[in-house]
């Protein structure tokens, strides 16, 4: 019989959201007294109304390590130099759109040098989720003029096609890797390369199996957008690209689209179907989201 590892922890609301956002496309019907249950590879993750979150399965420690500290599977430690946010030059990447039913998934990797810091600090660059859309539209073009970056945009129609054979985190892993690959075509990557962690490190590289070129030596850290300027800059540029594509969608379809994946999004999707058709929904939405089932 396969060994079942079990880890239980009290996560903060922020950690619960981070965990759910990372694996929400593997969600199944929740058992009694649970908020939700996720079933990624070799693990069952259950978040209970009591506040406890349980990781159970062969790779339970792997999944838990990305969000909590476990003695059985500690997060791999990098050198103090690598983990130091003040080390420059540094490369960083982040993604936007993975929690939105409408619109693309955008990933941006950047390289930030010491001489770029004054501009980034002046513009207030940090996690794009802490900036409003007007701020993003104002500061992103200025950043894009000064620092090296690689931006990838996966449109909804293509996303739906790719998702048939890849889960959300596999898609994100391949986009992050390709963003770094693209940067290497024009620039030398610094030794410090950071990804805002959305999946355990070993799974990240497992998702990249079969890719022609794989960038290694990456440091994975949660909440990296606020700690590493390169990740923060990538977050802002990715968000700007997402907003721009949403603008294009609204012009093409002559209607507004709600962000996120809540009840307002459901109402917006119903309006779209009434004006156009259910078949055309795949051109603007990520069809595996629970919103589609509710429709």
What total number of domains does the chain contain?
Answer: 2
Which whole number is the average pLDDT over 153-167?
96
SS3 285: strand
> Is pLDDT of 168 > 50?
yes
The CATH number assigned to the domain holding 49 equals: 3.30.310.10
Sign of CA dihedral 55, 60, 62, 65: positive
> Is pLDDT of 82 > 80?
no
Judge if 146 and 39 occupy the same domain.
no
Domain that holds residue 103: 80-247
| Tens of pLDDT, residues 88-123 | 899 999 999 998 999 999 999 999 999 998 898 888
Give the pLDDT confidence score for residue 75 in this predicted structure: 34
> Is pLDDT of 202 > 80?
yes
**Across the chain, what does the average pLDDT equal?**
87
Judge if 230 and 122 occupy the same domain.
yes
Residue 146's pLDDT band, with cuts at 50, 70 and 90, is: very high
Judge if 17 and 100 occupy the same domain.
no
Judge if 18 and 93 occupy the same domain.
no
* Dihedral class, residue 151 (left if φ above 0, else alpha if ψ from -120 to 50, else beta): beta
Give the pLDDT confidence score for residue 3 in this predicted structure: 56
Give the pLDDT confidence score for residue 265 in this predicted structure: 94
Give the pLDDT confidence score for residue 136 in this predicted structure: 94
The CATH number assigned to the domain holding 161 equals: 3.30.420.10
148 CB neighbour count, 10 Å cutoff = 18
| Tens of pLDDT, residues 45-71 | 999 988 899 999 888 887 887 676 433
First-to-last C-alpha distance (Å) of the chain: 41
Residue 168 CA to residue 289 CA, distance in Å, equals 11
For residue 40, which of 204, 160, 225, 177 has the smallest C-alpha distance? Answer: 204
Cα 185 off chain centre by: 24
Judge if 160 and 192 occupy the same domain.
yes
Judge if 14 and 124 occupy the same domain.
no
Assess contact for 248 and 65: CB atoms under 8 A. no
Residue 159's pLDDT band, with cuts at 50, 70 and 90, is: very high
> Is pLDDT of 124 > 60?
yes
Judge if 24 and 58 occupy the same domain.
yes
| Tens of pLDDT, residues 217-251 | 999 988 888 889 999 999 999 999 999 999 999 99
């Amino acid at each position: 019989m396969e060994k079942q590892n079990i880890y239980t922890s009290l996560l903060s609301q922020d950690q619960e959201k981070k965990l759910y956002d990372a694996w929400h496309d593997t969600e199944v019907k929740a058992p009694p007294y649970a908020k939700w249950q996720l079933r990624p590879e070799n693990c069952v993750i259950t978040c209970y109304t009591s506040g406890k979150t349980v990781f159970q399965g062969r790779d339970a420690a792997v999944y838990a390590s990305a969000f909590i500290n476990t003695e059985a599977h500690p997060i791999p430690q990098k050198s103090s130099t690598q983990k130091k946010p003040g080390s420059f030059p540094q490369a960083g990447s982040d993604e936007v759109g993975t929690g939105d039913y409408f619109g693309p998934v955008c990933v941006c990797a950047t390289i930030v040098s010491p001489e770029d810091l004054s501009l980034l600090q002046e513009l207030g660059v940090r996690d794009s989720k802490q900036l409003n859309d007007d701020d993003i539209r104002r500061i992103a073009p200025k950043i894009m003029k000064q620092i090296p970056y690689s931006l990838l945009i996966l449109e909804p129609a293509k996303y739906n096609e790719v998702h048939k054979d890849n889960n959300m985190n596999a898609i994100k892993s391949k986009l992050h890797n390709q963003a770094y690959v693209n940067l290497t075509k024009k620039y030398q990557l610094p030794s410090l390369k950071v990804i805002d962690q959305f999946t355990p490190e070993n799974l990240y590289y497992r998702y990249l199996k079969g890719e022609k070129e794989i960038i290694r030596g990456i440091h994975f850290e949660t909440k990296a957008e606020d700690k590493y300027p390169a990740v923060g800059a990538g977050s802002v540029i990715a968000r700007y690209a997402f907003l721009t594509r949403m603008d294009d969608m609204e012009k093409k379809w002559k209607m507004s689209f709600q962000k996120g994946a809540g009840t307002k999004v459901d109402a917006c999707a119903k309006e779209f179907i009434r004006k156009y058709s259910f078949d055309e929904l795949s051109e603007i939405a990520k069809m595996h989201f629970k919103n589609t089932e509710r429709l």
